[in-house]
Amino acid sequence: VHPDDERYRELVGRSVVLPLADRQIPIVADAAVDPEFGTGAVKVTPAHDPNDFEIGNRHGLEAINIFTIEAEVNDNGGDFAGLDRMAARTAVKEALAEQGHIDHIEERAHSVGRCYRCSTIVEPYLSLQWFVKVGPLVVPAIEAVRDGRTRFVPQRWENSYFHWMENLRDWCVSRQIWWGHRIPAWYCADCDEVIVAREDPTACPSCGGSSLRQDEDVLDTWFSSALWPFSTLGWPDETADLADFYPNAVLVTGFDIIYFWVARMLKMGLEFMGDVPFVDVVIHGLVRSPDGRKMSKSLGNAIDPLDVIESHGADPLRLAIVQAAAPGQDVPFDMEWVEGARKFGNKLWNAARFVLGHVDAGSVPGTGGYPEDPGPESAWILSRLAEVVERFDELSDEYRFSDAYGLLYNFAWSEVFDWYLELSKAALADDASAAETRQTLGIVLRDLLKLFHPAIPYLTEELWNELVGEGLLAGSTWPDPPEVASPASMDVFQELVGGVRRFRSSHQLSPRQQLEVLIADPESAAEPWWERQLQSLVAVTARFGAAPDTDGFTRIVAGTVQGFIPLAGVVDLDAERDRLHRALATAEQDFGVADKKLSNPSFRDRAPAEIVAKEEQKRAEAEATLAKLRAQLDELGTP
């Protein structure tokens, strides 16, 4: 009973008779009892419930085991001995009813433990087991993390580690299974001596008897796993491998085994080696099922990576997981990641085909080889390569691999593939810049292969073999590109090109239709190479001069530069005005419908939040479309 329960306070210290067993049991007061649950009085069974076991220890209660190892009632069960546990429960209920001890029966929900493999109900059972006394091991392991000899990444997982370590109990290491490291303990049949030895004993050291039986239990698998950082290196012998690789630099693992494995490796390493087994513990998230649940064989929701590899390949799966798995964050698996990574692999393959169309196979050096006097386009991409490698290394040193490969993915796709390969075409056509452009193409692709190799090993190794032609990419040195001064005008140039492309798209013009652009450049931002690249990239003939003061031009603003495209002869002004007015009317109608709904307080109060948000998005999109259409009409001028 609860010590503050007035109903039973005077009964504490007295005894009651246990029905059916005719045995006296004491009435004790313990704060673990919930006075609001049922009668507020509960029968405890210290041998068959973990909470009751704790109560029994606090009050010195006798722990009586009533089960055999086969889950049948033993001799302590009196008349019920020999019955299966389930049959015994029914028999006990019937016997209590026959003797008039049952007042009434209620349905109650219980938390019942089940086997994670077969869902069989598990019966807590007091038995003789082997334990590791953790008290002497815990303090050094806690201090090693507190003083920074070992750190967790992300750091927040240190709190979980400390919570577990500061609330540890002795570790039960004996397991009743057949497969594992057998416990090195023997029992003497002559004098009951327990012998623990490294080598199999031939005689009892106490009585000299030779009738010895080894314990049939095996060690918990986490016990041998806890020894892994040094036992795999030859310990207890002082081997060269042990000297070279203990302690290790980093352990990468999941949060779900910090207690089972990480903490125990730290305890064992400090105990037997006198030093931590690793410096950094990087905690990655779990890749969960698409519905967010932990993947499990027993739940049947595990995705077999071999199936994904069969359909998409090993590289796409690897890159997708690397990009998605932020440090310490769980992520639900999505096949769209893998599909996106597969498309990237295709893009990389096609980029390599372009480069190898201009660079002799096997001619690119495995290291170095950066151009000494690159042209403006090459200088830009080499400058960006150096910046990306530096940032990639910083992110990798922080174990932020998801961010590192997100950075690299965007650089490769948006800058190398979308921009530099296109810029290189005009440079390759010019004899003055062709050689250094070919050199830059090969070097940039080579360094991309190196950077992507940890995440895309198979494809990059294959392309390396074509590009470099000797040695393995896996054994090459990491990229170390020199700093290169980038053209100051590249950002402005890219804005200008983007503006021309948007103009073509909005007026439905062919990408190869020749255009003229008048460039007003009051601060001399433009550079000579702009002319050939504007022609190559967007079919534009550029001429420089003052901004026009008449209508009939569309204006593109790019930094301090303005580009003016004359509309006469390019766009049918009357037809374009008609098209824009029709589009304007549609956008005004869309805006009006959404605005009317959102201006109605009843709609905002009663509609679900996601519906309101959807209408707000519609109104914002219509408003942006209106602004764009009106600007285009202004460019066309008054008819």
Which has more pLDDT, 331 or 141?
Answer: 141
Question: Exposed, middle or buried, 98 (CB in 10 Å: 0-12/13-18/19+)?
Answer: exposed
What pLDDT shows up at residue 290? 86
Per-residue pLDDT at 381 exceeds 90: yes
Query: 10 Å Cβ neighbour count for 415?
Result: 18
Residue 329 predicted with pLDDT over 60: yes
Question: DSSP code of 508?
Answer: T
* Mean pLDDT of all residues belonging to the chain: 93
The predicted-structure confidence for 409-429, as pLDDT tens digits, reads as follows 999 999 999 999 999 999 999
Q: Which amino acid is at 521?
A: D
Residue 215, pLDDT above cutoff 90: yes
Q: How far apart are CA 193 and CA 211, in angstroms?
A: 11
Identify the pLDDT of residue 5. 95
Work out the pLDDT band at 579, boundaries 50, 70, 90.
confident
| Torsion angle of the four alpha carbons 612, 617, 622, 623, in this order, in degrees rounded to the nearest 10 | 100
Q: Residue 301 pLDDT > 90, yes or no?
A: no
Residue 638 in this model has a pLDDT that exceeds 60? no
pLDDT for the residue numbered 631: 80
Q: What is the pLDDT of residues 314-323, one digit of tens each?
A: 999 999 999 9
Distance from C-alpha of 258 to C-alpha of 264, rounded to nearest angstrom: 9
First-to-last C-alpha distance (Å) of the chain: 94
pLDDT at 473 over 70: yes
Structure tokens at 306: 């071999």
Summarize pLDDT for 107-147 with one digit per residue, the tens. 888 889 898 788 899 999 888 999 999 999 999 999 999 99
Lowest-confidence segment of 152-161, 220-229, 256-265, 549-558 by average pLDDT:
549-558
What percent of the chain is modeled with pLDDT above 70?
Answer: 100
Task: Say what the pTM is.
Answer: 0.75
Structure-token pair, residue 547: 């901004």
Per-residue pLDDT at 87 exceeds 90:
yes
Which pLDDT tens digit goes with each residue over 502-557? 989 888 889 889 999 999 999 999 999 999 999 999 999 999 989 888 777 888 88
In the chain, the domains with their CATH numbers are 9-98 (3.90.740.10), 131-182+217-284 (no CATH), 309-475 (1.10.730.10), 490-566 (no CATH), 573-636 (1.10.287)
Q: Which helix (H) or strand (E) holds 549?
A: none
Give 306's pLDDT tier (boundaries 50, 70, 90).
very high
Q: Report the amino acid identity of residue 401.
A: F
Tokens matching residue 283:
């905690």
What band does 483 get if pLDDT is binned at 50, 70 and 90? very high
pLDDT at 325 over 90: no
Beta partners for 556? Answer: 563
Residue 283: pLDDT band with limits 50, 70, 90 = very high
Residues 561-572, mean pLDDT to the nearest whole number: 86
Residue 45 has pLDDT above 90, yes or no: yes
* pLDDT, average across residues 459-485: 95
Q: 60: phi > 0 → left, psi -120 to 50 → alpha, else beta; which?
A: left
**What does the pLDDT read at residue 494?**
96
Query: Quick one: pLDDT at residue 639?
Result: 58
Parallel/antiparallel/unpaired status of strands 540-544 and 515-520 = parallel
**pLDDT tens digits for 334-347?**
899 999 999 999 99
pLDDT value of position 185: 96
